[in-house]
Structure 1
Amino acid sequence: VSYLRQFGYLTTSGAESQLTTEAISSALKRFQRMFGLPQTGVMDERTAALMAKPRCGVKDEPILR
């Protein structure tokens, strides 16, 4: 969840325990779309592997709009 927030895919604020499954799934779908993965909304191996790669720290969200 912190990765999705850091890079602009999850914009809701508040405690992680207050996030809905739908919000997390939607954020994952946006991430998957950005990187050309099947948009399942599920944290699968390919999604996790991309998230594990080094990043510069700049949000992707403005690119998605």
Structure 2
Amino acid sequence: NVLDPFEAATQKLSVDSSPTLSIVLPVVTTLITRLENRSNDSLFLQEIKGNLRRSVEERFKDVYQNKL
């Protein structure tokens, strides 16, 4: 399921009431990695994953560019 990585990320980040960067960064990195296209993905799934990945990257771009 394409949304499974989001469920896992939500569960990890929900454990702590104020997740720190040391928790958020690996979770976001894993989320982006899991949204990479695979050779057996349909074109439809590739499009969905690409859109989701770009949205996550845009939302967390400051984390990776040290603009916190």
Measured against the shorter chain, the TM-score band is: 0.3 to 0.5
Structure that is richer in helix per residue: 2
* TM-score (normalised: structure 1): 0.40
Larger RCO (CA within 8 A; separation ≥ 6): 1
TM-score (ref. length: structure 2) = 0.38
Between Structure 1 and Structure 2, whose CA radius of gyration is higher? Answer: 2
